[in-house]
Amino acid sequence: MPDVVIVDYGAGNLRSVARAVAHAGVDATVTADPRAIEGARALIVPGVGAAADTMANLRSGGLVEPIREYIASGRPFLGVCMGMQALFEVSEEGGEHECLGVLGGRIVRFPQGLTVPHMGWNTVHLPTPHPVFEGVPQDSYFYFVHSYHAQPADPAVVVGATEYEGVTFPAAVGRGNLLATQFHPEKSGVDGLRLYANFLRLALEHGSIAPATTTA
Amino acid sequence: MDIIPAVDIRGGRCVRLTQGDYARETVFEEDPVAAARRWADLGARRIHVVDLDGAKGGKPVNDAIVRAIAASMPCPVQTGGGIRDIETFRSMVAGGLDRIAMGTAAVKDRALLRAIVAEAAPHLIVSVDARDGRVALEGWTEATDLDATDFIRELTDLGVQRVVFTDISRDGVAGSPNFEAYERLTRETSMAVVAAGGVSRVDDLRRLAECGVEGAIVGRALYTGDVDLREALEVLA
């Protein structure tokens, strides 16, 4: 069973994510096999597109329970873009769509009047340091493409925040060994590649990506 | 202002054309993926890939290489050249291309333009070629040429969000971009304008930034070394 698994559920940005992982010198397996998820030491769930399609694909692929159980086991997890939004309870995109419910809260649309999607480079501010962001300067730029954003029930899960046209929203969320980003680190240059490298190094060498003080 | 290195592909190789003339080609770097990576490693935050064979033939030719660049660059990659229908447009976006530049088809087929705008305006760039502030547009209107600013306003009314504006008389030749034309476009329209053509020195980029353009595509000057990308990125940081 492979150590590092990138979940393939028909998401579309797999090659870029796989490339970023390879750049970190790590061998990853891109797969839709639930058994690979069960046996992984580091799991990455990428994704672009809409919540409804994402959840439909995860369900039809039999991936919902394996992903939930993996996260519940406390092993290192990285979610990217839709891989972050799917973690919450409900997404308002295209209706009311039930998601994985791993994190409390909703995915909501940017308010009327803002230019959507939020598409471009924007800065991410960390309220406190996080090991996966080690070596990335405060307020660095990352690349975003999304029309909806997370509204977590627990503000303590916010690892990084970004402001877009007056709205501040979570750019990254985390709890224990789970980290997820709204932006695409695989499209965010050197800082994004560092994020992948940190995640993988911490996961594979230490089995932990969590900050030193955590209650989760 | 984004500084956007261009990687032009012909016959699977990275080349530069002088003034859009296919008979005046120079090969700078064989492997287009390596060329793109060179710019990404120096800090480029966006790359513009042109399928020259596709542009000439009206359908993608170096498709696989374009997608390979998009998949392997740690930054957004946009492309143009031979994309003339909505299926190809969708396929390229699904394949990891951040934005798709369309010229001929967008201009000739207004129904197609409306359909793409309705579905994916943020991912569309309309390519506009001009000479001295006038656009030569076969198929747009009865007129043989049109004031560029008027044309850009029409595109804005149709919902187009972004254009790449190329002054082809300066493309690939050591001259200067048409600063006055860009300045007028950004002052008189709400379109996001990306400049292309004629950048020969870092100072051209500084002046383009002052014109208010969103980005500047740089080709030949990067490959000849006339523009040092790292220096340019620092100057415009």
Instruction: Tell me if A213 is assigned to some domain.
Output: no
Report pLDDT digits (tens) over B70-119: 999 999 999 999 999 999 999 999 999 999 999 878 878 999 999 999 99
Instruction: Tell me if A159 is assigned to some domain.
Output: yes
Q: Is A16's CB within 8 Å of B72's CB?
A: yes
**Number of structural domains, chain A?**
1
Question: B98, B129, B167, B171: which one is catalytic?
Answer: B129
Question: A23, A186, A205, A206: which one is catalytic?
Answer: A186
* pLDDT at residue B23, as a whole number: 75
Count Cβ atoms within 10 A of the Cβ of residue A95 and give its class: 0-12 exposed, 13-18 middle, 19 or more buried.
exposed
Q: How far is B111 from A122, CA to CA, in rounded Å?
A: 34
Range of the domain at A126: 4-206
Quick one: CA dihedral B101, B104, B110, B112, positive or negative? Answer: negative
In chain B, which residue's Cα lies nearest the Cα of A117?
Answer: B122
Report pLDDT digits (tens) over A64-97: 999 999 999 999 999 999 999 999 999 999 999 9
Instruction: Tell me if A215 is assigned to some domain.
Output: no
The answer to whether B4 touches B47, Cβ cutoff 8 Å, is: yes
Q: Is A143's CB within 8 Å of B76's CB?
A: yes
Q: What value does the mean pLDDT of chain B take?
A: 89
Q: What is the CATH number of the domain that holds A57?
A: 3.40.50.880
**Residue B228 a catalytic site member:** no
Nearest CA to CA, how far is B97 from chain A (Å)? Answer: 10
Instruction: Tell me if A140 is assigned to some domain.
Output: yes
Average pLDDT value for residue range B1-15: 95
Q: What CATH code is assigned to B2-235? A: 3.20.20.70
Nearest CA to CA, how far is A73 from chain B (Å)? Answer: 31
Tokens 């705008």 belong to B117
**Residue A81 a catalytic site member:** yes
Instruction: Tell me if A216 is assigned to some domain.
Output: no
> Token pair of B26, please?
């120079």
Length of chain B: 237
Q: How far is B200 from A95, CA to CA, in rounded Å?
A: 51
Q: Is A189's CB within 8 Å of B40's CB?
A: yes
What ranges do the domains of chain B cover?
2-235
Q: Is A189's CB within 8 Å of B45's CB?
A: yes
Count Cβ atoms within 10 A of the Cβ of residue B64 and give its class: 0-12 exposed, 13-18 middle, 19 or more buried.
exposed
Q: One-letter amino acid identity for B161?
A: Q
Q: Of chain A residues 11-50, which have a CB less than 8 A from chain B?
A: 12-13, 15-16, 19-20, 23
Count Cα neighbours of A76 within 13 Å in the Cβ-side half-sphere.
Answer: 24
Instruction: Tell me if A211 is assigned to some domain.
Output: no
Q: What is the ipTM of this complex?
A: 0.91
Q: How far is B10 from B60, CA to CA, in rounded Å?
A: 11
Size of interface A-B (CB pairs under 8 A): 42
Instruction: Tell me if A178 is assigned to some domain.
Output: yes
Length of chain A: 216
